[in-house]
Amino acid sequence: MARPPLPVGTHGKIKVTGKPGGGFVAKAKYRDFDGVTRLVERSGHTETAARNRLREAFRDRSTQSSGGLIVGETKFSAAADLWLSEVRSAVDAGDMSPSSADLYERQLRNYVTPALGELRIREVTTPRVDALLQAVRKRRSAATAKVVRSVVSGVMGLAARHGATAMNPTRETKKISSGGQRRVRALSADERVRWLAQLEADAFAVRKDLPDLTRFMLATGVRIGEALAVSWDEIDLGARTVDIEWTLVRVRGEGLRRLPPKTDSGRRTLPLPAFAVEMLRERYAASPTGEQVLGVAAPVFPDAVGGWRDPSNTRRDLRTARGTDGFGWVTSHVFRKTCATILDEARFTPRQIADQLGHARPSLTQDVYVARKLANTATADALHDELGT
């Protein structure tokens, strides 16, 4: 029976012999990634030096043959550095938001590298990754564990593309459950009235311009970063529309940046309800620059010095204004969900609501943004008509 071939990327027994003129030569057969077995040799002044040089040649040959910078012996931390470089390139190309990149880097630093960083790629197995995810799920939250899973999957996916591993071990890990989907909660009609009244009666909220910002977000369903990125040249009061073209994001090391939405569906022109148009007209009339405001790239909701306003600081202002009683559950995203719920109750289609919110998939809108659990008396009437006696 013929001897089985060497596995691809491995070598046979190393033999070292002396050279007639002095020194040593180490030789061994190596099966390249094209499947061909070749004799490789290296020389050295000593037997050990010759062996070491041959082993270095095998290591370099493995990297070159696999066509990548990552091999099975590469440390996970080194592969993670390469993956982060790809992530930053995606941000520079506009394919990923800076905030997402910052989140990935933070979770890599806090959870992934301490657990897997010193392992070789070949040692990063499904049981090890699963143990990490379950530990993060227990220690922190399901949401954090899901981000950690995405990070590990990204690094190991890169390793797989370089031929360093045959599979991505995250694929077979246990599904991360959040323990049941949370009920979508939106402001009811009565709560909307009381919320705005509370803001109007609060000197801090008025000083922070929260009543009008709330009205604008309820009227449009935009994200807080999108609302704060709207400039007067994107408002057409005659046509009663607003162009959503930007979002405000704080980038680490760069400060506040006005960036385009992550997806094409995020760019949209929205009609403005009459109450929002009236509110904007009043803001325009009260502007210190008068007619110069309308039609120029100046923030509609500026900070105290007239510049772009930080979304994180504004969320903090909202938390302060809401208090702990009654409206302690309200966040800026609740206004977005309220808009979606109002449109759903008005019988707009999921596609129409998704277009309003800037979602590519209507299913996301229905599952995450539209409040349910409301009794529909029409269903009982229909059943009575068919089944009643």
Amino acid found at 48: T
Surface-to-core class of residue 254, CB atoms within 10 Å of its CB (0-12 exposed, 13-18 middle, 19+ buried): exposed
Under the phi-then-psi rule, with left for phi > 0, alpha for psi from -120 to 50, and beta for the rest, what region is 272?
beta
363: pLDDT strictly greater than 60: yes
What is the pLDDT at residue 379? 47
For residue range 158-209, list pLDDT tens digits in order.
999 888 888 899 999 998 876 655 667 899 999 999 999 999 999 999 999 9
Say yes or no: 224 and 362 in one domain: yes
What percentage of residues in the chain have a pLDDT greater than 70?
A: 86
What is the pLDDT at residue 166? 86
* Residue 104 included in any domain: yes
Total structural domains within the chain: 3
pLDDT band at 99 (very low <50, low <70, confident <90, very high): confident
Q: Among 32-41, 302-311, 337-346, which is the least confidently predicted range?
A: 32-41
* Residue 56 included in any domain: yes
* Residue 25 included in any domain: yes
Say yes or no: 277 and 159 in one domain: no
- d(CA 204, CA 211) in angstroms, rounded, equals 11
Say yes or no: 362 and 321 in one domain: yes
What is the pLDDT at residue 46? 93
What percentage of residues in the chain have a pLDDT greater than 90?
A: 52
For residue range 273-298, list pLDDT tens digits in order.
999 999 999 998 887 654 444 455 78
Q: Which two tokens stand for residue 284?
A: 């325009």
What is the pLDDT at residue 317? 95
Q: Which of 66, 84, 109 is the last residue of a domain?
A: 66
Q: Determine the average pLDDT of the residues in 50-72.
A: 75
Say yes or no: 80 and 62 in one domain: no
What pTM did the predictor assign? 0.66
Q: Among 46-50, 118-122, 316-320, 370-374, which is the least confidently predicted range?
A: 370-374
* Residue 289 included in any domain: yes
What is the pLDDT at residue 368? 57
* Residue 4 included in any domain: no
Q: Determine the average pLDDT of the residues in 207-222.
A: 95
- d(CA 137, CA 125) in angstroms, rounded, equals 18
Say yes or no: 145 and 246 in one domain: no
- d(CA 86, CA 69) in angstroms, rounded, equals 13
pLDDT band at 370 (very low <50, low <70, confident <90, very high): low
Q: Which of 144, 172, 200 is the last residue of a domain?
A: 172
What is the pLDDT at residue 191? 94
Say yes or no: 226 and 257 in one domain: yes
- Pairwise pLDDT comparison (138 vs 286), residue with the higher score: 138
* Residue 304 included in any domain: yes
pLDDT band at 139 (very low <50, low <70, confident <90, very high): very high
Say yes or no: 114 and 235 in one domain: no
What residues make up the domain containing 38?
Answer: 15-66
- Cα 105 to Cα 112, 120, 138, 319: the distances in Å are 10, 20, 21, 27
Question: Quick check: 69 and 63 in contact, CB under 8 A?
Answer: yes
* Residue 199 included in any domain: yes
The CATH number assigned to the domain holding 257 equals 1.10.443.10
- Pairwise pLDDT comparison (108 vs 185), residue with the higher score: 108
- The residue with tokens 């922190």 is 140
For the chain, what is the mean pLDDT?
85
- Cα 194 to Cα 206, 212, 312, 314, 371: the distances in Å are 15, 15, 24, 20, 19
Say yes or no: 106 and 205 in one domain: no
Say yes or no: 92 and 210 in one domain: no
* Residue 380 included in any domain: no
Say yes or no: 22 and 110 in one domain: no
Say yes or no: 217 and 365 in one domain: yes
